[in-house]
Copies of this chain bind each other. A is one copy, B any other.
Amino acid sequence: MTQKVIHRLSVYRRGLAAVQARDPRRTHVFSHEIAALSGLGAAQVRRDLMTIGFTGSPARGYEIAALVTAIGCVLDHPDGLRVALAGVGNLGRAMLAYFLVRNPHISIVAAFDDDPEKTGRVLHGCRCHAVADLGAVCAGEGVQVGLIAVPAGAAQAVADAFVAAGVRSLVNFAPAPLRVPPGVAVQDIDITTTVEKAGYYARHGAGAPPGPAREEESAA
A158 within 8 A of B: no
- B-contact bits for A198-220, CB 8 A (1 contact / 0 none): 11111111110111111111111
A89 within 8 A of B: yes
- B-contact bits for A106-118, CB 8 A (1 contact / 0 none): 1000000000000
Say yes or no: B103 contacts A217, CB within 8 Å.
no
A145 to chain B, nearest CB (A): 5
Chain B residue contacts of A200, Cβ below 8 A: 1, 6, 74-75
A84 to chain B, nearest CB (A): 12
A133 within 8 A of B: no
Find the residue from A38, A175, A187, A209 having the highest chain B CB count within 10 A.
A187
Chain B residue contacts of A90, Cβ below 8 A: 90, 93-94, 97-98
Please give the count of copies of this chain that the complex contains: 2
Known contacts A175-B14, A202-B168; A181 and B216 CB within 8 A of each other: no
Q: How far is the CA of A98 from the CA of B90 in the complex (A)?
A: 9
CB-contact partner of A212 in B14, B89, B185, under 8 A: B185
Q: Which 6 A-B pairs have the closest CB atoms?
A: A217-B218, A217-B217, A185-B201, A216-B219, A90-B94, A185-B206
Chain A interface (Cβ < 8 Å from any Cβ of B): 1, 3, 6-7, 10-11, 14, 18, 37-39, 74-77, 81, 83, 89-91, 93-95, 97-99, 102-103, 106, 144-145, 147, 167-171, 175-207, 209-220
